[in-house]
Amino acid sequence: MNSVPRISLLVSQALGLYRLRINGLLAQHNIDLTSEMVMVLRIIWQREGRKQQELADLLYKDKASITKIIHNLESRKLVARVSDDEDARNKKIVLTPKGLALKKQVLPVLDPFLDSITADFSEKELQTTCLVLESIIQKLK
């Protein structure tokens, strides 16, 4: 019998704990968002105007899940859906001033925590971990 746990279990446990800790930090700082909303916002903060399908593809989420997250962000007046000039059926997701301002509140809370998770690992360990995870992602595609 193999005593090494399946990597799928470890990835699932890590993601579950990641979400719990992020949600706890957000609540502790009175930021009314979930970890999933923050993941979507981080991508939009990097580059506005992405389409919902692009967000779904980047996060490996189904379109219904992304639609629900975008709807929640929209109801909080953090993002807006605007028509795509090239294809009116597609909507681009853009930040509202409130959504852009929230970046200055969220990142100082989350970035130190995220940095602390890997602070004790060497550069080589981090590179190896990233390569293994990227390989798993490619095999799952």
**What six digits make up the tokens of 34?**
């979930």
Residue 96 lies in domain: 7-110
Residues in Cβ contact with 66 at an 8 Å cutoff, skipping those fewer than 6 apart: 40, 52, 53, 55, 56, 59
| pLDDT score, position 18 | 95
pLDDT tens for 12-61 read: 999 999 999 999 999 999 999 999 999 999 999 999 999 988 999 999 99
Looking at residue 37, which CATH number applies to its domain? 1.10.10.10
Residue with tokens 């095999």: 139
Q: How much is the pTM? A: 0.86
Q: Would you place residue 2 in the very low, low, confident or very high pLDDT band (cuts 50, 70, 90)?
A: low
Count: domains in the chain: 1
- 63 pLDDT exceeds 90? no
